Structure 1
Amino acid sequence: MRRSLAALLALACVAATPARAQAVPGSADARLDALLDAEWTWRTNELLLDPEGSNRPVTGMPHVDAASQQRRRAYWSAALAKLDAIPADQLSNEASINAAVFRTALTAYVNQIRFGEYEEAFGFWTWLAPRQGFAKAEDYRNYLGRLRDMPRYVDEQIVNMRAGLKRGFMPAKPAVAGRDRTVEPLASTVMEQNPFYTAFAQMPGSIPPAEQERLRAEARTVIAGRVAPAYAKLLVFLRTDYMPRARDDIAAESLPDGKAYYAAKVKEFTTLDLTPEQIHAIGLKEVARIDADMQATMKASGWKGDFAGFLHFLKTDPQFTAKTPYQLLAHAAYIANKANGKLNETIGLLPRYRFTILPTPANIAPFSTGGGGGLDSCVMNTYNLPARPLYTINPLTLHECVPGHSLQAALALEGPNRPPIRRTTYFSGYGEGWGLYTEWLGIGWGIYETPYEEFGRETYEMWRAARLVIDTGIHHMGWSRQQALDYLSSHTALSDHEVTIEVDRYIKDAGQALAYKLGEMTIRRKRAEAEAKLGERFDQRWFHDVVLGLGSVPLPVLEQQIDLWIAGGGKNPNAAPER
């Protein structure tokens, strides 16, 4: 799950924010609140966001042209300067968290524009089409407005990509190969094949049948007349101009101002001050540790051969392959249900919001990872079933669905009275760290019922540790793509298909893969410290409530707040204050 400025531009709806307690006028907290509120008002207008409950119809796509990008950079840079003028030592604890989130998020946004990331817009179309229908007819009319604006939006993205080609800021060849096929359905005038029409095939019964037909008829006209031609134009551009000129060098540091760019991406995704060399060393150490665990599990399974033979067995034996997409989705649902049965003893404050499990959209499934999490749904990739061994579905479900990203997103939606940026910002180090941590929690829940399933969990942990080595290897140390493929394949039971998809993802999204393991290591280290210092007073429910109750924060802030909780005796953070 990745959230960046590019993702924010595609958002149509974000969580509502209840009224907050008012700070003392003139105080540092009040000055910060005013800055946060002003930026949010500007942001919702600038990026065409629609905070839930605002009744603000969003009937167009945001502008992504160079002038708009530079306007955002100027605004956010000015906001950071105003933040610097507020005395940090006078902020309350809650306000200091708000300030840290604000600073970290805006610094990333400014850097993304500073380095011209918007000029490397390949893949901007990936998640634009809604996965499900809307609740009201008005929502459909607003969506139709956005669809009508799609040609202008696509044209601006093409102009941006042309600018990227001109200055040498474009993807590497392995990261684009074949991915033009993901645009083909968007260019289709056959409604049942076009993902932009999916929402109209799932209209709720609360909309009268006649109104439903009017909306569907309008959708068919707009998609066939405006949306499909825009993506057909994009497809021609990608195939004739863009993809043939993709760069041969796969390292981010080979891009313009590449060393500074990669350093900025490392900081953005991890929220930590670590060098590529330090991260590479951490990865090698973790790989060695997890390898010992995998060797032990292999022996416990009764395997008599060597490690390479065991990996081959796991990757090829049909007993580990779902026979139908339904079987894979049903297995994920079973794991999610088992996890739900353990939540009461693991987390104190649980959300009301519920999610569903869906297959990854067909147009992007061939190039997507095993699954993805989200508020309304988590998705499981049912494309190429032999590449999705069932022994990896257990940790994947915990990570993406429950108690991972879908539960995490629901708690953020229902969280306390905080500024909107606290409720909508996503830091990968925190979010992906929690996701990987929940895979480890599954050990104590009986999620891994066989040595093969435990080896699947270890494969997923090794996968994230190997990323630390591979990402820094590719983008900083001169690794070749084949070197990365061999490293991941020889250390995990991931299928060859997933190994290839993953390595190409690391080539495309420099730094993002570093977040998972570094975030998980932070949470597990702080839990160990809490257990040691609190002894019998330690309750994992309250520890998890502290972690989840903060919402997405930079990892140093998470550490600081856990330290404060430990110093306070490890109490229930949601308990009513004593009188």
Structure 2
Amino acid sequence: MNHRSTLAALATAVALAWTPAAFAAPSPAHKVETAPAASAPQAQQQLAALADEYYDAVARFDPVSATQNGDNRFDDQMTMDIVPAVRAKQYALYHSYQKRLKAIPRAQLNRSDRINYDVLAFELKTLLAFEPFPKHLLPLNQMDSIPVTLANFAGGEGSQPIGTVKEYDAYLSRLAKTPAWIDQAIANMREGMAKKIVLPKALMVSALPQFKKLVAADAQSSIYYTPITKLPATFSDADKQRLTNAYRDTIANSLNPALQRLAAFLENEYLPACRDTSGWSALPNGRAWYLANVADATTTALTPEQIHEIGLKEVARIQQQFAVLGPKLGYDGPPSGLPVWVGKQAKFYPFKTEDEVQAVYRNLNALLDTKLPQMFTLMPKAKLDLRLEPELSRATASDHYTSPAADGSRPGVFWSVVNDPAKYNSTGMNTLFLHEGKPGHHFHIALTQEMDQPKFRKFGGNNAFTEGWALYAETLGKDMGLYDDPAQYFGHLNDELLRAVRLVVDTGLHAKGWSREKTIAYMYETLGDQDVAKNQTERYMAWPGQALGYKIGALKIVELREKAKKALGDKFSLPKFHEVVLGDGTLPLALLEKKVNAWIASAK
């Protein structure tokens, strides 16, 4: 998923503009109710036009992310946001949109449009906060890059459909435009080398094998040629021949040579110039850059130091629960050693094949269909599919979710990453599926796309709500009996521990001067898995702040639920609470809190 986030600096100011009357509980239907009075058609029209223009500008600026977010209108376009002139033009647009938004009389808008107004104001403030920072000089890493993303699209099972002649042509169009992206990326990285804005060396060591693997011996053996190996029988002979020739020629004459240039540049020039430091604060103006990332990821005004302390307290709390749980699993050592012990028990590795792993998830999916209606009155229409992560990205990928297509042609997908079935630990499967599948990402993201909202809200969002909701969804397993098995409850606590550890190590890396080695050592000591410690540490090094939204968002939702239960007593309804949280789509946390408080007041 692509998570566009929001800046905390605006949170208080925007929240203060929201009156309790604006937060009447949403309708159980997907379409949010609007107040019938005091709405000026001109203000509404201005906002609607601006919202659509803003979304289209963002989608055209980064059409690959639009594809990943379920909008397939721009599947033939290439993201060129790393071109300095394109980037400058985009920021000029954001400034103009912000000025136009401020000129719209918010007081004349109805309830749903006031929400749209405030979220758009929040997003623009966030985007403009990043204008001083040269992200385009760091165009790739081991976690994401255009060439790898397009390679993962090649099978036609991901976010970009490849099944009709038009879709084959759209993907081919992207392949033809990829060499220009690659050459711009190389030019940017050379500028970054001159300005000391480069990746940590460890990240390039991890990324380099990916880019080498993309270089093919010939066009027919390229991963990008995969669509031609799956040409539908329904295509005409003329289309089959034309597409085969076009894919072969584009890959052989343009794309593969560009990939060779990229791999050679990364290995021979960029890797030797990469930095030995680990954190973002080591970059020029890096502290300010990281603070923008923190605000973006959490939608709060929390400082890295405050988040670090929250993380330490959460780690301690969860390890106290380990002390109670350990003996139930047959473990009598110190709580901090429980993850290591569990990781060594053969009984928690029962799988021999990928299909056996998938069967557990399929059974769990069916079980949840019987349990979730007791907790939710608001559920998406889109189906959830279960698939294995493509081989190319398995080594560095984490289990994840991709959103449905906006037109309903593709379901939401839970992608499980099974590198070796014999090493796939069974204890974390229930909590993982609740997070990545349902009622986590699928309920939130698919439902949001089905709401009557502007496109920028359907396909955008922020990390704190998105990941916070998914982590909160994991806690619902206890209410459904999914953690009655002590091994599955350990899996839940262990995953929660990972999210707490993230608060400690992300801020440690980027604000407190922790090295990669110190971070890996802390994670290994706390989580007991060397591979997780390495991969997760390098993820945080590549995506500063991104991992903070999970725990900060979940803690806020749990806090609001407990507040509502205490205030409403017998009047509290868990399905209604979930409806209130999800019913207006993704919100910055300050706006979510204001909304829940108003619901509590009205329910009393």
Give the TM-score normalised by the residue count of structure 1. 0.88
Q: Does 1:36 align with 2:58?
A: no
Say which SS state the counterpart of residue 379 (structure 1) adopts: strand
Listed as ranges, the matches of 1:226-241 within 5 Å are 226-241=254-269
Task: State the match for 1:95 in structure 2.
Answer: 113
Q: CA deviation at 1:261?
A: 0.5
Q: Which residue of 1 aligns with 2:80?
A: 63
Change (3 A) 1:230 1:87: same
2:506 matched to which residue of 1?
471
* Correspondence 1:68-147 to 2 at 5 A: 68-123=86-141, 124-125=145-146, 126-129=148-151, 130=153, 132=157, 133-147=161-175
Helix, strand or coil at the partner of 1:177: helix
What does the per-residue CA deviation read over 1:322-347, in whole Å, with 9 as the maximum and x for residues that have no partner? Answer: 32222222222222232232221121
> Which amino acid is the alignment partner of residue 532 of structure 1?
K
Partner of 1:554: 588
Matched, 1:496 2:524: no
Distance of aligned partners of 1:334 and 1:53 in 2 relative to their CA distance in 1, 3 Å threshold: closer
| SS of aligned partner of 2:386 | strand
Matched, 1:176 2:210: no
Deviations 1:248-273 (A, max 9, x none): 11111111111111110000111111
Match of 1:356, SS state, is: strand
Measure how far apart 1:238 and its partner are: 1.0
Query: Could you list the per-position Cα deviations for residues 264-285 of structure 1 after superposition, in whole angstroms to 9, with x for gaps in the alignment?
Result: 0000111111111111111111
Residue of 322, 339, 348 corresponding to 1:294 = 322
Equivalent pair of 1:37/1:419 in contact (CA under 8 Å): yes
Judged with a 3 Å threshold, the aligned counterparts in structure 2 of structure 1 residues 446 and 472 are, in CA distance, closer, same or farther, namely: same
What is the SS of the residue equivalent to 1:149?
A: helix
Distance in 1 of aligned mates of 2:109 and 2:503: 36
User: Deviations 1:33-78 (Å, cap 9, x if unpaired)?
Assistant: 3322332344444445779999966533133311101111111122
**Residue in structure 1 matched with residue 23 of structure 2 by the alignment:** none
Kindly indicate whether the alpha-carbon contact (under 8 Å) linking 1:464 and 1:516 is maintained by their aligned counterparts in 2: yes
- Name the CA distance, whole Å, in 2 between partners of 1:145 and 1:345: 47
Structure 1 residues 209 and 426: CA distance shift in structure 2, 3 A: farther
Whether contact under 8 Å (2:520, 2:533) holds in the other structure is yes
- One-letter code aligned to 2:509: I
Task: Determine whether 1:444 maps to 2:462.
Answer: no
- Separation of aligned partners in 2, 1:306 and 1:438: 29
1:390 matched residue in structure 2: 426
Q: Distance in 1 between matches of 2:221 and 2:598?
A: 53
State the shift of 1:516 in Å.
0.3
Shift of 1:562: 1.6
Q: Please, which moves more after superposition, 359-368 or 256-265?
A: 359-368
CA distance in 1, matches of 2:166, 2:89: 31
The 1:120/1:441 distance shift into structure 2, 3 A limit, reads same
Distance 1:509 1:412 in 2: 25
1:184 partner amino acid: K
SS in 1 for 2:149: coil
Paired AA for residue 597 in structure 2: D
Larger deviation, residues 191-200 vs 57-66: 191-200
Distance 1:312 1:54 in 2: 42
Question: CA 1:268–1:386 in 2, change beyond 3 Å: closer, same or farther?
Answer: farther
Query: How much does 1:461 deviate?
Result: 0.4
Percent of aligned positions with the same letter in both sequences? 30
CA separation of 1:432 and 1:48: change in aligned 2, threshold 3 A? closer
Distance between the aligned counterparts of 1:509 and 1:249, measured in 2?
A: 15
Query: Does the aligned pair in 1 maintain the 2:60–2:79 contact within 8 Å?
Result: no
**Paired residues for 1:402-441 under 5 Å:** 402-416=438-452, 418-441=453-476
Is the Cα–Cα contact under 8 Å of residues 105 and 425 in structure 1 kept in the other structure?
no
Aligned twin of 1:275: 303
Q: 1:422 to 1:60 in 2, by over 3 A?
A: closer
Structure 2 unpaired stretches of 5+: 6-29, 405-411
- Superposed CA deviations along residues 75-128 of structure 1, whole A, max 9, x for unmatched, are 112222332344445544322321232123223333334301121111323323
Q: Structure 1: which 5+ residue stretches go unaligned?
A: 6-16, 571-579
Greater alpha carbon shift after TM alignment, 370-379 vs 358-367? 370-379
Partner of 1:9: none
Query: Does the Cα contact within 8 Å between 2:319 and 2:336 map onto a contact in 1?
Result: no
What do the CA deviations read for 1:433-473 (whole angstroms, capped 9, x no partner)? Answer: 01111111111212234212211110000110111111111
What is the distance in 2 between the residues matched to 1:554 and 1:437?
Answer: 16
Q: 1:244 to 1:327 in 2, by over 3 A?
A: farther
Q: Deviation per CA, 1:521-579: give whole Å up to 9, x if none.
A: 01111111121222222222222122222222211111112222222328xxxxxxxxx
Q: Distance in 2 between the 1:89 and 1:263 partners? A: 32
- The answer on 1:520 being equivalent to 2:554 is yes
Task: Note closer, same or farther for the CA distance 1:62–1:373 as it changes in structure 2 (3 Å cut).
Answer: closer
C-alpha separation in 1, matches of 2:174 and 2:489: 46
- Name the counterpart of 2:416: 380
Paired positions, count: 557
Q: Report which stretch shifted further, 223-232 or 68-77.
A: 223-232
Q: In structure 2, the residue corresponding to 1:162 is in which secondary structure?
A: helix
Deviation for aligned residue 1:153? 1.9
How far the C-alpha of 1:492 sits from its partner, in A, is 2.5
Q: Counterpart of 2:12?
A: none
Contact 1:530 1:566 in 2 (8 A): yes
* CA–CA distance in structure 2, aligned partners of residues 266 and 105 of structure 1: 15
| C-alpha contact 2:556 2:589 (8 A) present in aligned 1 | yes
**Aligned letter for 2:208?**
D
Q: 1:534 to 1:200 in 2, by over 3 A?
A: farther
TM-superposed CA distance for 1:211, in Å, is 4.0
* Paired residues of 2:331 and 2:338 also in contact (CA < 8 A): yes
How far, CA to CA, are the matches of 2:120 and 2:564 in structure 1? 28
Alpha carbons of structure 1 residues 216 and 544: separation in structure 2 relative to 1, 3 Å: farther
CA distance in 2, matches of 1:55, 1:268: 26
RMSD value, Cα: 3.0
**CA contact under 8 A between 1:134 and 1:203: conserved in structure 2?**
no
Contact 1:122 1:161 in 2 (8 A): no
> Equivalent residue for 1:483?
518
**Structure 1 position 254 matched with structure 2 position 277:** no
SS at match of 1:442: helix
The 2-side partners of 1:504 and 1:230 are apart by 26
Stretch of structure 1 that moved more, 396-405 or 374-383: 374-383
**TM-score, structure 2 normalization:** 0.85
1:352 offset after TM fit, Å?
1.9
Residues 60 and 148 in structure 1, CA contact (< 8 A), matched pair in contact too? no
Q: Which amino acid aligns with 1:266?
A: V
State how 1:339-350 maps to structure 2 within 5 Å.
339-350=368-379
In the superposition, relative to structure 1, how do residues 201 and 428 fare at CA in structure 2: closer, same or farther (>3 Å)?
farther
Could you tell me how far apart the structure 2 residues matched to 1:343 and 1:202 are? 38
- Cα distance change, pair 57–284 in 1 and its aligned pair in 2 (3 A): closer
Q: What's the CA shift string for 1:285-327, capped at 9, x where partnerless?
A: 1111111112111122232333355333211222222322222
Contact 1:378 1:400 in 2 (8 A): yes
SS of 2:500's partner is helix
- Between the aligned partners of 2:274 and 2:436, the Cα distance in structure 1 is 32
Q: Which amino acid aligns with 1:330?
A: A
Query: What amino acid is aligned across from residue 536 of structure 2 in structure 1?
Result: E
